[in-house]
Structure 1
Amino acid sequence: MCGIVGGVAERNISEILIEGLKRLEYRGYDSAGLALINHGQVLRERRVGKVVNLEEAVKSHQVAGTLGIAHTRWATHGKPTETNAHPHISGKVAVVHNGIIENYAELKADLQALGYVFSSQTDTEVVAHLVAEALKTADSLLVAVQSIVSKLKGAYALGIVHADYPDELITVREGSPLVIGVGIGENFIGSDQLALLPITNRFIYLEEGDIARLTRTSIEIYAHGTQAVQRPVKELDATVSNSSKGEYKHYMLKEIYEQPEALQQTISQALNGNALREDFLADAEVNFRNIEQIQIIACGTSYHAGMIAKYWAEQLIDVPCQVEIASEFRYRSPVIINRTLYVCISQSGETADTLAALRDTQKRAAAKGLNIATMTICNVATSSMVRETDHHLLTLAGPEIGVASTKAFTTQLAALMLLLLKIGQVKQRISAEQMTEITDALWHCPKVILDTLQHNAEILRLSELFVEKQHCLFLGRGTHFPIALEGALKLKEISYIHAEGYAAGELKHGPLALVDNDMPVVILAPQDDMLDKLKSNMEEVQARGGELFIFADEQSGITEKDRQHVVNIPSVNTWLAPIVYSIPVQLLSYHVAVLRGTDVDQPRNLAKSVTVE
């Protein structure tokens, strides 16, 4: 959520900042703004709505400068208005901010007592005034910023400029991601390297507590505010910048169709024929051998992936596995158990609650002298979670721009299966026959997904029956209960139809009361040992007048009849069926959203990367 871009150069950077904001639009936002330093003045433009509104204002007013900061805001404190949009100014200081200043109310009261007047409802404005106040005694902008960060409580990333320092950009990272883009005769900051890829592929990834001073020709970094340090410059593969929609109407649809390739890439890093590569997670073998259980921590879609992994871990390799929502795990003082593998799943590797849960777990385990191991499964090799866990496994999905996750989710499932195969191999909990069966099915999975995508036109026709609906149920059993949850999440995220996912066996325990002639019920019906029980659940729904929309294995024997619509899904190995059955629910949600006229890629009130609580 929110996006920061800033830079210092010899050329006018207004267009660079605007382009950077456009490349961060996928993160979710409700307003945008920029501030440029020009001849001792702060020139600011802010607009509610899309970045294009800001772009038009900048062009119209011919705002230019060689030093500047820009921002897309997702409202936390104060409504989405122009007054609350960033950057915020105090005198000659301009500030952009991602995250939350938790103690802003106390700081605001102190500043008001000193005579500062606040023009916004945001927590960010206190930072601008604090810097302005510190500059009354500090001998540089850097020193002023260093002196105020200890007063800020919360998670934040900051970009700060001052009209009297026309070649100096100060940035701070504390709990919110920030990178430095290294150029020639110019340097930049961004909350995501994607924003800066058109101008550089060389990046410095700031650590927690870092403060950096950028000029056109130098980068100074201070750990914990004052200790000068060197951070490595990393060169990013240019293919990461491939983020255009191409021939597709929306990023989400493009990313749905990219899933066969994304899965192929993720699988290929681990398999050599029907065997795991010798170097795959080789550094984790000692830990895997010693663990007695797995604890998965995640949020949203990643949590659903973890739920499926729990079934796999316990049924396939006989290892106990628990799954928890990170925002609950981190606050309920969980017991940290010895010889446990803690697995954090996150698309970005920066999810605030998951990252905080990881750090708290590590701290408490160290305090008690417990022997645990930590692991990240995520899509960003340079993320905080990858850097801060003992081991990591990347999902090679490529950039995912649509807020509603598709290829990141299915590659997480593939990665989790690969992880469990490795643990099962190390602990000798999986037979050679099972290993061959599942690895062969993994290689075949991209083809099955391609065949499933051939049903797009059928699913589009069915989606027309959802357009006027206000509620929907998704039902699944076993590993398809989490897919039901995921399908409901997708539908509510982008179409704004209220949807709930349930374990089909729970129908009689409440949800059946909701079923009537106007309630569509989506059923996930793979060919597994729960199919007969699922068919009984379907009869229960039909007896109450519910209309069924069934994604069924082509060998299931389920056929079309009155108020029972069936899309036949290609037969797939039972273990990997959740990956394949994700595809039709993604397509259904997409088409319903398009028909209802919602903003598919950037649904209201949501952000792609949730870097604050």
Structure 2
Amino acid sequence: MCGIIGCIDRDDIVPTLLSGLSKLEYRGYDSAGIAVANSGVRVVKREGELNELVQRIESEPELDGISGIGHTRWSTHGRPSDENAHPHTDCSSRVAVVHNGIIENYQSLRTELQSLGHEFESDTDTEVVPHIIGHELDAGSSPRTAFYEAVEKLEGSYAIAAVFEGHDEVMAARQGSSLVLGVGDDATYVASDITALVDRTDSVVHMDDGEFAFLSTDGHEIVDENDERQSKTQTTIEWDAEAVAKGEHDHYMLKEIHEQPAALRECLRDRSTTGQFVTADVFNDDHLGPIHFVACGTSYHAALYGARLLRERGVPAQAFLASEYATAPPPIRDSTLVVGVTQSGETADTLAALRAADERDAQTLALTNVVGSTAARECDDVLYIRSGPEISVAATKTFASQLVMLTLLAHQTSLESGIGNADRLLSALNELSGQIQQVLDTTNAMPTARRLANSSGYFFIGRGLQYPVALEGALKMKEITYEHAEGFAAGELKHGPLALVTEETPVFVSAIGDDETVQKTISNAKEVSARGAPVVAVTDGTTSIERFADVALRVPETHRMLAPILVNVQYQLLAYYTARYLGRSIDKPRNLAKSVTVK
């Protein structure tokens, strides 16, 4: 969602801020702005793309300072506009503030401040923060004390950064929204995302909830809510600037689809020989009991897949939407393990679900991509999927890696319970990267997308392990094409949705193998074909579905547990090419954000 960048002690502070903001564009935004501080505070902000801000800055003379902050905004309070863009200032422009998250008590704070004579220029919840700081400054407080006092009054979630006139510090605070410090040789940075820092430093410090950070020319200081200094370990970022560049591809999404073979090789490194990769502290014989997966969006589809695999092995497992789990958790026993599936490790709903589980004494496990993320730090243990940076809002390579990690988790469960047969699965895992590359090299998704790009809607159906992939295929299609798409368990199509099927609604069917389940799926495909709907089959060639399908997309034969990963690659490519033919904004689809850090 919204992005924050701040730094101090840079000769080229404006280019540094703009560079950081450019790295945060992928999170989704509708306006951007910066503030620089020296003897005064100067703010430049614009609705629209970052290049609109750059053009405005180029017309501003002598815009420079020793400290500065920048922001990309994804609207929550107030429409996109210059006035609602961040940073926001107090009445006298002595302080500028940027903010991620939602301040839940902003309306009462705003009313109180207005009664004291403060005039507001925006509709945002954020603007109350600089006005509270300004009020405290008027009362004689120092900048640091004023910042403390303002943050203490806030309720909700926030990551905040501020600069003051005549004061050589960047101040920051975190509660429920990610903030990380970057430690460089000649400067110190603060950002909402390590992606903003990869071309400046590879050393970061993750802030925790309730902490304040103060960046100065001498370095940085982190204190807790009691003003006690915290000693924090620096983490090395393994990503580099090249990893967050598009390279030869037109879009990050296409780049990341093509990175899946390499991502899975990294995910499987040191793991695919034995499958023993979860520490005994959270995963042992005692935890072959209830397993609750909590997740949102694409990660929820991965969780559905993982829960299905575990149930097939006799382990009671369920997948829950994190937003629902957080508000009404199901009964938790001593042996319950709650697994948070979250690409960023910062998804607010998933963190809330994990914290609700922790409050009920459940063991927690994070399955995430980001080292040092909040989920990774707060859970009892963590599994990293090692996908590298994913910039496109539409998740692709991280979903594939999540499925592989969940496959390994289910495989280890089989070993723990004495029912596992490792050889065939591990052999198939080691072949998977090459098979994905084969799909990428031979796919006919592009002409298929061209043929179907003007359809009135898209249906995806699958059974068993293919059902979560049907949901994910539909999600990708609607995310980046803005067209109606739905995923269904294949047997449910006839229980209502069939009423929507016409000659203008292609149905995508995953039919892998030739067992009884697949034959039932083929029967469902025939039902829609008989009603004139185009049938697009994703198949390994072992079934009869190609005889009546209008289009067939082929995938290599593989282990039943891994086939959904190959099917999903075809669905990703179909969504990508359909969106391209429709002229959509593929990497930054409208209204969406990469890391959803509000509930």
> 1:382 matched to which residue of 2?
372
Q: Deviations 1:212-240 (Å, cap 9, x if unpaired)? A: 11101131211125222221222222547
Deviation at 1:49, TM superposition (A): 1.4
- Contact 1:184 1:217 survives alignment (8 Å): no
> 2:555 matched to which residue of 1?
569
Deviation at 1:138, TM superposition (A): 4.8
Q: Deviations 1:399-420 (Å, cap 9, x if unpaired)? A: 0001110000000000111122
> 2:103 matched to which residue of 1?
101
Match of residue 342, structure 2, among 343, 346, 358: 346
Give the aligned residue type for 2:409: L
Separation in structure 2 between the aligned mates of residue 521 and residue 325 of structure 1, nearest angstrom: 26
Match of residue 427, structure 2, among 432, 440, 445: 440
C-alpha spacing 1:516/1:470, structure 2 compared with 1 (3 Å): closer
C-alpha spacing 1:93/1:528, structure 2 compared with 1 (3 Å): farther
The number of aligned residues is: 595
Given the alignment of the two structures, is residue 503 of structure 1 paired with residue 489 of structure 2, yes or no? yes
Match of residue 483, structure 1, among 469, 488, 498: 469
TM-score by length of 1: 0.95
What secondary structure is seen at the aligned counterpart in 2 of 1:171? strand
Given the alignment of the two structures, is residue 56 of structure 1 paired with residue 58 of structure 2, yes or no? no
Give the aligned residue type for 1:543: A
> 1:545 matched to which residue of 2?
532
Deviation at 1:337, TM superposition (A): 2.4
What secondary structure is seen at the aligned counterpart in 2 of 1:387? helix
Match of residue 419, structure 2, among 430, 435, 445: 430
- Contact 2:462 2:469 survives alignment (8 Å): yes
- Contact 1:287 1:373 survives alignment (8 Å): no
Q: Deviations 1:426-460 (Å, cap 9, x if unpaired)? A: 3x2433xx21111111111111111111233x110
> 1:110 matched to which residue of 2?
112
What secondary structure is seen at the aligned counterpart in 1 of 2:189? strand
> 2:403 matched to which residue of 1?
413
> 1:69 matched to which residue of 2?
69
> 1:22 matched to which residue of 2?
22
What secondary structure is seen at the aligned counterpart in 2 of 1:168? strand
> 2:256 matched to which residue of 1?
255
Match of residue 451, structure 2, among 465, 482, 500: 465
Deviation at 1:284, TM superposition (A): 3.4
Structure 1 unaligned spans of 5+: 366-371
Separation in structure 2 between the aligned mates of residue 407 and residue 284 of structure 1, nearest angstrom: 29
Q: Deviations 1:192-250 (Å, cap 9, x if unpaired)? A: 11111211111111111101111011312111252222212222225475111111111
Separation in structure 1 between the aligned mates of residue 12 and residue 257 of structure 2, nearest angstrom: 38
Deviation at 1:289, TM superposition (A): 3.7
> 1:177 matched to which residue of 2?
178
1:216-227 matched pairs, under 5 angstroms: 216-227=217-228
> 1:331 matched to which residue of 2?
327
> 1:299 matched to which residue of 2?
296
> 1:204 matched to which residue of 2?
205
- Contact 1:209 1:225 survives alignment (8 Å): no
Deviation at 1:544, TM superposition (A): 1.2
Separation in structure 1 between the aligned mates of residue 146 and residue 318 of structure 2, nearest angstrom: 46
Over aligned residues, Cα RMSD in angstroms?
1.5
What secondary structure is seen at the aligned counterpart in 2 of 1:152? coil
C-alpha spacing 1:509/1:10, structure 2 compared with 1 (3 Å): closer
> 1:276 matched to which residue of 2?
275
Separation in structure 1 between the aligned mates of residue 584 and residue 404 of structure 2, nearest angstrom: 30
Q: Percent identity?
A: 41
Separation in structure 2 between the aligned mates of residue 460 and residue 606 of structure 1, nearest angstrom: 25
Deviation at 1:377, TM superposition (A): 0.4
What secondary structure is seen at the aligned counterpart in 1 of 2:246? coil
Larger mean Cα displacement after TM superposition, 397-406 or 445-454: 445-454
> 2:149 matched to which residue of 1?
147
What secondary structure is seen at the aligned counterpart in 2 of 1:105? helix
Give the aligned residue type for 1:282: T
Structure 2 unaligned spans of 5+: none
- Contact 1:13 1:68 survives alignment (8 Å): yes
What secondary structure is seen at the aligned counterpart in 2 of 1:135? helix
What secondary structure is seen at the aligned counterpart in 2 of 1:305? helix
Q: Deviations 1:39-73 (Å, cap 9, x if unpaired)? A: x2211111111112111221221422221110000
What secondary structure is seen at the aligned counterpart in 2 of 1:570? coil
C-alpha spacing 1:105/1:429, structure 2 compared with 1 (3 Å): farther
- Contact 1:146 1:226 survives alignment (8 Å): no
- Contact 1:296 1:343 survives alignment (8 Å): yes
> 2:594 matched to which residue of 1?
608
Deviation at 1:499, TM superposition (A): 0.4
Separation in structure 1 between the aligned mates of residue 81 and residue 206 of structure 2, nearest angstrom: 32
> 1:524 matched to which residue of 2?
510
Match of residue 310, structure 2, among 313, 328, 339: 313
C-alpha spacing 1:254/1:444, structure 2 compared with 1 (3 Å): same
- Contact 2:341 2:367 survives alignment (8 Å): yes
- Contact 1:6 1:68 survives alignment (8 Å): yes
- Contact 2:477 2:575 survives alignment (8 Å): yes
